[in-house]
């Protein structure tokens, strides 16, 4: 792999130990995946923020980097959700010991120069790359959204490699950074009788496709309309269940007009969507309701507030959201309505990365991805339904 003189110096340690370590990671990845060179990036989103996932070994690694590493100028660098609300963790029932460790993790990221905005929807809060920009993001739903909806270019990075990109301003030139790897590989025809309306429907669609196709660039035909919330839900579901990091939806997503529909095809009919709903529903009476996976938009908070107005929740109900979107929602009065009803805005975190094991039995959610992590990481049964139905279950 070709390295410039400057990159050779960085690799040799002339810009410090953190840069050296970061270059080693990027060069190793580049060699494994056959990259010809390193390229400049403009934006980073770093996963591996929850102490629940990092543990002491991860914290030690960050502390080591923070001794002399800093995010390069001109790079927007934000974080994935942490294991708790960074201000109101007590209200979410997070133990003090966990909170202390989580704050050490955050301090290390702060020293490294990352923005302490912990969210999987960075594109709602200013980390929104332009079409064609090379970036290094690591949360899988954000990666699929950035590639497909925004038209930016990123591989599905790990936490350490995206952090390495933040500290060097570079990534290896392979995979989805290259035109030839962004071409669609499989055509997904959505049957004319399939009605996709809610966010949950789009999550079910991602799951239904995953039962027929894995790890391919998709070209999807037959979706008439999809808003930002539906696209983020689909990004999360297809990334989780299919491993998809890029999809093209005809007449909707950024690169679909320049992409040829492939010959290989699969068809999705109503029965496929129904089977996915059945699969994602293995629970009956939830004791925990959680929406905002990926983190809620302002429009979703507006909807939740309208469903909750004048009601009281009877179950633990979390709405995961980034802090800037919560603040915007507060200025419009949605937060007051939601909190008056007894629901909780879980800022900076979500039900998958918070330490929740053993606290609940059955999760109700409108996110297909949340079902995966609720079951896998926390052993919950899951009830998968629309946002409106989730709110009804919370107040019942």
Does 346 participate in binding ligand F3S (rule CB under 6 A)? no
CB of 171 to ligand F3S, least distance (A): 21
In the complex with ligand F3S, the residue whose CB is nearer, 84 or 186, is 84
CB of 373 to ligand F3S, least distance (A): 5
Q: Which SS3 state, helix, strand or coil, does residue 142 take?
A: helix
Q: Could you tell me the strand order of the sheet in which 186-190 lies?
A: 247-249, 218-221, 186-190, 265-268
Structure tokens at 258: 């320049």
Does 318 participate in binding ligand F3S (rule CB under 6 A)? no
Kindly identify the residues of this chain, within the stretch 10-49, that bind ligand F3S according to CB under 6 A.
none
Q: Bridge-partner residues for 39, per DSSP?
A: 171
Q: Bridge-partner residues for 320, per DSSP?
A: 346
Q: Which SS3 state, helix, strand or coil, does residue 279 take?
A: helix
Residues 6+ apart with CB under 8 A from 229: 199, 297, 299, 300
Does 84 participate in binding ligand F3S (rule CB under 6 A)? no
Q: Which of 109, 169, 182 is nearest to 135 (CA)?
A: 169
Q: Bridge-partner residues for 364, per DSSP?
A: 289, 383
Region binding ligand F3S by CB under 6 A among candidate stretches 38-46, 164-172, 246-254, 348-356? 348-356
Does 207 participate in binding ligand F3S (rule CB under 6 A)? no
What distance in Å separates the CA atoms of residue 139 and residue 10, rounded to the nearest whole number?
A: 27
What distance in Å separates the CA atoms of residue 26 and residue 31, rounded to the nearest whole number?
A: 9
For CA atoms 147, 150, 153, 155, the dihedral sign is negative
Does 320 participate in binding ligand F3S (rule CB under 6 A)? yes
Is residue 321 within 8 Å of residue 291, measured between CB atoms?
A: no
Q: Which SS3 state, helix, strand or coil, does residue 116 take?
A: coil
CB of 140 to ligand F3S, least distance (A): 8
Does 293 participate in binding ligand F3S (rule CB under 6 A)? yes
Q: How far is CA 57 from CA 80, 84, 103, 129, in A?
A: 19, 19, 15, 32
Structure tokens at 135: 């970036």
Count of alpha carbons within 13 angstroms of residue 148, beta-carbon side: 32
In the complex with ligand F3S, the residue whose CB is nearer, 188 or 346, is 346
Does 294 participate in binding ligand F3S (rule CB under 6 A)? yes
Region binding ligand F3S by CB under 6 A among candidate stretches 11-19, 252-260, 262-270, 365-373? 365-373
CB of 129 to ligand F3S, least distance (A): 18
What distance in Å separates the CA atoms of residue 232 and residue 33, rounded to the nearest whole number?
A: 28
Give how many residues touch ligand F3S by CB under 6 A.
16
348: phi > 0 → left, psi -120 to 50 → alpha, else beta; which? Answer: left
By CB under 6 A, name the one of 194, 325, 350, 387 that touches ligand F3S.
Answer: 350
In the complex with ligand F3S, the residue whose CB is nearer, 161 or 237, is 237
CB of 106 to ligand F3S, least distance (A): 16
By CB under 6 A, name the one of 48, 58, 81, 160 that touches ligand F3S.
Answer: 81
Kindly identify the residues of this chain, within the stretch 230-259, that bind ligand F3S according to CB under 6 A.
236
x/- mask, ligand F3S, residues 99-138, rule CB under 6 A, reads: ---------------------x------------------
By CB under 6 A, name the one of 124, 373, 380, 384 that touches ligand F3S.
Answer: 373
x/- mask, ligand F3S, residues 140-179, rule CB under 6 A, reads: -x--------------------------------------
In the complex with ligand F3S, the residue whose CB is nearer, 80 or 253, is 80
Q: Which SS3 state, helix, strand or coil, does residue 163 take?
A: helix
Does 352 participate in binding ligand F3S (rule CB under 6 A)? yes
Does 308 participate in binding ligand F3S (rule CB under 6 A)? no
Structure tokens at 83: 């294991």
**Greatest CA separation found in the chain?**
65
Residue ranges binding ligand F3S (CB under 6 A): 80-81, 120, 139, 141, 236, 293-295, 320, 350, 352-353, 369-370, 373
């Amino acid at each position: 792999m070709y390295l410039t003189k400057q990159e050779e110096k960085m690799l040799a340690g002339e810009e410090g130990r953190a840069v050296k370590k970061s270059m080693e990671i990027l060069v190793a990845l580049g060699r494994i995946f056959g990259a010809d060179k390193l390229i400049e990036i403009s934006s980073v989103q770093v996963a591996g923020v929850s102490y629940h996932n990092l543990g002491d070994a991860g914290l030690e690694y960050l502390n080591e980097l923070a001794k002399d590493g800093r995010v390069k100028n001109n790079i927007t660098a934000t974080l994935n959700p942490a294991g708790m609300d960074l201000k109101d963790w007590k209200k979410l029932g997070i133990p003090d010991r966990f909170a202390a460790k989580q704050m050490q993790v955050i301090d290390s990221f702060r020293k490294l120069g990352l923005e302490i905005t912990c969210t999987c929807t960075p594109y709602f809060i200013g980390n929104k790359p332009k079409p064609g920009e090379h970036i290094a993001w690591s949360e899988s739903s954000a990666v699929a959204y950035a590639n497909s909806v925004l038209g930016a270019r990123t591989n599905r990075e790990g936490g350490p490699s995206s952090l390495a990109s933040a500290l060097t301003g570079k990534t290896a030139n392979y995979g989805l950074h290259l035109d030839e790897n962004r071409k669609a590989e499989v055509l997904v025809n959505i049957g004319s009788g399939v009605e996709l309306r809610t966010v949950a429907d789009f999550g079910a669609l991602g799951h239904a496709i995953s039962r027929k196709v894995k790890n391919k660039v998709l070209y999807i035909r037959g979706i008439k309309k999809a808003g930002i919330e539906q696209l983020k839900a689909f990004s999360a579901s297809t990334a989780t269940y299919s491993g998809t990091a890029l999809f093209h939806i005809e007449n909707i997503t950024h690169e679909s007009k320049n992409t040829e529909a492939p010959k290989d095809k699969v068809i999705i009919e109503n029965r496929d969507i129904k089977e996915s709903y059945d699969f994602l529903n293995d629970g009956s009476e939830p004791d925990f309701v959680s929406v905002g996976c990926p983190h809620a938009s302002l429009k979703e908070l507006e909807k939740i507030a309208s469903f909750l107005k004048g009601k009281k929740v009877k179950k633990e109900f979390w709405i995961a959201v980034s802090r800037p979107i919560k603040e915007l929602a507060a200025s419009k009065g949605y937060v007051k309505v939601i909190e008056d009803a007894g629901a909780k805005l879980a800022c900076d975190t979500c039900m998958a990365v918070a330490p929740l094991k053993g606290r609940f039995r059955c999760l109700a959610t409108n996110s297909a991805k949340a079902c995966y992590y609720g079951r896998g990481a926390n052993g919950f049964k899951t009830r998968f339904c629309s946002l409106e139905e989730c709110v009804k279950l919370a107040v019942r």
